[in-house]
Chain A
Amino acid sequence: ETGVTQTPRHLVMGMTNKKSLKCEQHLGHNAMYWYKQSAKKPLELMFVYSLEERVENNSVPSRFSPECPNSSHLFLHLHTLQPEDSALYLCASSQDLGQVTTEAFFGQGTRLTVV
């Protein structure tokens, strides 16, 4: 238990579906992140939020839409995905964005399969 909870743990969706991934942290952290993890590839940073403001979007396709309603919750809304989007989606949080030299706490991830 890392203090970061992601739901659902597994998701299978068709290319025309709309779904949302949820992340919740009760660590009092101010920064939250979405990562994509594909097999045998480095973690890819998708979005960064600091104090509920989006501060980074690493050229992610618009079919991925993040939402951060408050500092404890982060969503990733999905629509019209492609099979190559199948991956493990990890949420993470850290105390503050500027303190990248402190550890990040990760959720267990959502295993997404697009069919």
Chain B
Amino acid sequence: GQNIDQPTEMTATEGAIVQINCTYQTSGFNGLFWYQQHAGEAPTFLSYNVLDGLEEKGRFSSFLSRSKGYSYLLLKELQMKDSASYLCAVVDSNYQLIWGAGTKLIIKP
């Protein structure tokens, strides 16, 4: 079966750095998405990786290793507004999106 694993919940301190991991076992791979979802709000697009390596976008970076079936989202200089759920999703060989359950990130002052 297809599976996406992410930690259920993480806590970090304002101003610090946090890394949210995502591991996947899917039938094929055509890219990996990260979305951010604030409580009661719509998920919004953060990043898309299809090649190995690190892609940086401001305070957020996303890393992919296809050989390891692994990605992470790195958030730097954490702000209170970064408290949200972070969803990992993989595009499989049939171009279907397989979603993880999301990681709830709690930022403390």
Contacts and interface: CB of A to CB of B under 8 A. Distances in A.
Interface in A44-80: 45
Given A42-B99, A42-B100, A108 B48 contact: no
A105 B41 CA distance: 12
A99 to B, nearest CB: 9
Interface residues of B, number: 25
Contact of A100 (B41, B91, B100): B91
- Count class of interface residues, chain A: 20 to 34
Contacts of B35: 106
B17 interface: no
A39 to B, nearest CB: 9
Given A2-B42, A90-B43, A100 B4 contact: no
A43 B99 contact: yes
Q: Which 9 A-B residue pairs are closest in the complex by CB-CB distance?
A: A103-B45, A106-B42, A42-B99, A43-B99, A100-B95, A108-B42, A106-B43, A101-B31, A42-B101
Interface of A: 2, 4, 40-43, 45, 90, 98, 100-109, 111
